Amino acid sequence: AQSVTQPDIHITVSEGASLELRCNYSYGATPYLFWYVQSPGQGLQLLLKYFSGDTLVQGIKGFEAEFKRSQSSFNLRKPSVHWSDAAEYFCAVAPRGGSYIPTFGRGTSLIVHP
């Protein structure tokens, strides 16, 4: 069965600092990979996705993620964090073919200090 691990429950950074949120997956083949953000009181918003091709994926709000097959990882990065980035971040994987139903990680809560 596929699984997604986000090892950090909380991450605290200062505004303007760089950010990396970790995501590792366990799956038989390379799945589709997603990062979602959930702001307080809001739904899940898609930040970026990896289907194929360039392993460095650019998303909205200045985020990027890099797929590393050898490490089964899809870490999310941002060079300079803004206070409005404080939110819950979810990594998700979905199988290629079939239903594409995603499996979500437990989420990482990002706290931004001024």
Partner 1 sequence: EPEVTQTPSHQVTQMGQEVILRCVPISNHLYFYWYRQILGQKVEFLVSFYNNEISEKSEIFDDQFSVERPDGSNFTLKIRSTKLEDSAMYFCASSEALSGGAGETQYFGPGTRLLVL
Strand 108-113 relative to strand 10-14, pairing: parallel
Strand 64-68 relative to strand 73-78, pairing: antiparallel
- In terms of CB distance, is 7 or 16 closer to partner 1? 7
**CB of residue 97 vs partner 1: minimum separation in angstroms?**
7
| Site for partner 1, rule CB under 8 A | 32, 34, 36, 41-46, 49, 51, 90, 92, 94, 96-97, 99-107
For residue 71, give the amino acid letter: Q
**CB of residue 100 vs partner 1: minimum separation in angstroms?**
5
